Amino acid sequence: MTTGTDNPTAHGSGNAATDKFKKNRVSADTSRERANAIYKDLLGAIGDVARKHEVTYDEYRVVKQWMIDVGEYGEWPLWLDVFLEHDIEEINYNRHAYTGTKGSIEGPYYVPDAPELPSHCEMPMRDKDKAATPLIFRGQVTDIDGNGLAGAHLELWHADEDGYYSQFAPDIPEWNLRGTIVADEEGRYEIKTLQPAPYMIPHDGPTGWFVESYGGHPWRPAHLHLRVTHPGYREITTQLYFKGGKWIENDVATAVKPELLLDPKTEGDNNVVDYSFALDKED
Ligand code: DHB
Ligand code: FE
């Protein structure tokens, strides 16, 4: 497995993700009763696993050390988004009778307020990025009856051809491969970007040790991240993958869905793909 020499370390990208997350103090309107029920079930479930496997004192101490390390490396956003977020996403999708485009995990690398770009645009990229295969991504944002939503916003962010995200790895311009595309009056867009590569979660810190300890691999299939919004409609946070791509069948983050697979066609020097988004009305 080659990782290149200037790979961002777990420490670097982990700390950047933790710092970004900490900037917003989050809260939830969870009642004391609900908190109590969740807490009891959670501790009960952990106790059941410990009993089932007769966890030893050495194993208990290793877990304690590992949790301390995850915090010190700033890797909690990474670990949680890889191993837990897909369940949270599914639970909250199933709460409603949605029929629009499926969502997927946000992951740790979303940054709000990316600069606006017109409906037909090229993503901000370096000359080096232009050496990768160009990807033309086009389609329409509609309601669930297929009516175009004028001026819908598509926030797009993805890794470069080496698997690095701007603002989370060194020496990449701030908004590289990030933008808020404003769809046209019919909700259409045509975005020129680059074909991303599979992404390896930082593996040189405690998340990597965890994956290694159970004989797993640290890879996610190549993906585009999108958040699609229009006033009055359910916001969709999702990811799009590439049919037949490496790691599609065994994404470390368990976030691939069949509805989210792109199948680009080669046209000259470009890969070209149509994908449209149908937004449910807000409840
Ligand atoms: C992680 C990275 C991603 O790009 C993603 O989509 C999900 C998780 C991670 O490193 O934790
Ligand atoms: Fe990602």
Two tokens, residue 211: 């994956």
Split at pLDDT 50, 70, 90, the class of 276 is: very high
Pairing state of beta strands 178-182 and 153-157? antiparallel
pLDDT reported for residue 3: 34
Whether pLDDT at 5 is above 60 = no
Split at pLDDT 50, 70, 90, the class of 6 is: very low
The residue whose CA is least distant from atom 3 of ligand 1 is 107
pLDDT reported for residue 9: 58
Q: Does residue 78 line the site of ligand 1, with CB under 6 A?
A: yes
* Residues contacting 274, CB < 8 A, separation 6+: 138, 139
Q: What is the mean pLDDT of the chain?
A: 93
Averaged over 247-264, what is the pLDDT?
A: 97
| Ligand 1, pocket-test mutation among 220, 224, 225, 257, most atoms within 8 A of CB | 220
pLDDT reported for residue 14: 72
Packed helices 206-213 and 57-72: angle between N→C axes, nearest 10 degrees: 140
Whether pLDDT at 30 is above 50 = yes
CATH number of the domain located at residue range(s) 93-279 in this protein? 2.60.130.10
DSSP output for 55-69: --HHHHHHHHHHHHH
Ligand nearest to the CA of 108: 1
Averaged over 157-169, what is the pLDDT?
A: 92
pLDDT reported for residue 10: 56
Euclidean distance between CA atoms 140 and 276, whole angstroms? 5
Ligand nearest to the CA of 13: 1
Calculated CA dihedral for residues 169, 173, 178, 181, nearest 10 degrees: 170
Convert the pLDDT of each residue in 193-212 to its tens digit. Answer: 999 989 899 889 999 999 99
Q: For residues 108 and 81, is the Cβ–Cβ distance under 8 A?
A: yes
Convert the pLDDT of each residue in 96-111 to its tens digit. Answer: 889 999 999 999 999 9
Which residue, chain included where needed, has tokens 């050495």? 58
Averaged over 131-139, what is the pLDDT?
A: 96
Closest ligand 1 atom to 165 CA: 4
Whether pLDDT at 186 is above 50 = yes
Question: Which residue, 238, 228, 225, 235, is CA-closest to 193?
Answer: 225
Whether pLDDT at 2 is above 80 = no
Which residue, chain included where needed, has tokens 């004028």? 150
Annotated domain spans of the chain: 93-279
Whether pLDDT at 11 is above 70 = no
Convert the pLDDT of each residue in 64-79 to its tens digit. Answer: 999 999 999 999 999 9
Averaged over 6-20, what is the pLDDT?
A: 70
| Ligand 1, pocket-test mutation among 70, 82, 158, 167, most atoms within 8 A of CB | 82
Split at pLDDT 50, 70, 90, the class of 145 is: very high
The residue whose CA is least distant from atom 6 of ligand 1 is 107
Question: Which residue, 137, 221, 171, 191, is CA-closest to 13?
Answer: 171
